[in-house]
Structure 1
Amino acid sequence: MASPKLSVIIPVHNESANIAPLCERLLPVLTRITPAWEVVFVDDGSRDDTLEIIKTVSQTEPRIGAVSFSRNFGKEIAIAAGLDHARGDAVVIMDADLQHPPEMIETFVERWREGFLMVYGQRTDRSDETRTKRGFAQLFYKLFSRFGEIPLPEGAGDFRLIDRKGVEVLRTLGEKARFSKGLYAWIGFKATGVPFVVEERRFGTTQWSFRKLFRFAFDGIASFSTVPLRIWTYIGFLISFLAIATAVFFTIRTLLFGTDLPGFPSLIVSVMFFSGIQLMSLGIVGEYVGRIFAEVKRRPLYVVAERIGGAAEVSSDIVPENYRMRRA
Structure 2
Amino acid sequence: MSHPDAEALQALLGRTARFCRRGQTGDVGTALAAFTDHHVHLHLVDEHALPAHGVAAVVDLGGDPAFFARHPKDGIPHVAYAGAFLTVPGGYPSFESWAPPQIMRIVTSPSNAPGASGGARTLVDEMADAGASVVKIALNRAVGPVFDIATLQAVVDAAHGRSLPVIAHVEGDGMTRLALDAGIDLLAHAPFSEPLDEELIARAVGAGQRWISTLAIHADPAIAISNVTAFTAAGGRVLYGTDLGNGNRPSALDVAELHALHTAGVRGPALIATLTDPWPRPEPETGVATFVPGPPPKGPDGIAAWLGGAVVVPAEELITDGE
Asked if Structure 1 and Structure 2 have the same fold, meaning a TM-score greater than 0.5 normalized by the shorter chain, the answer is: no
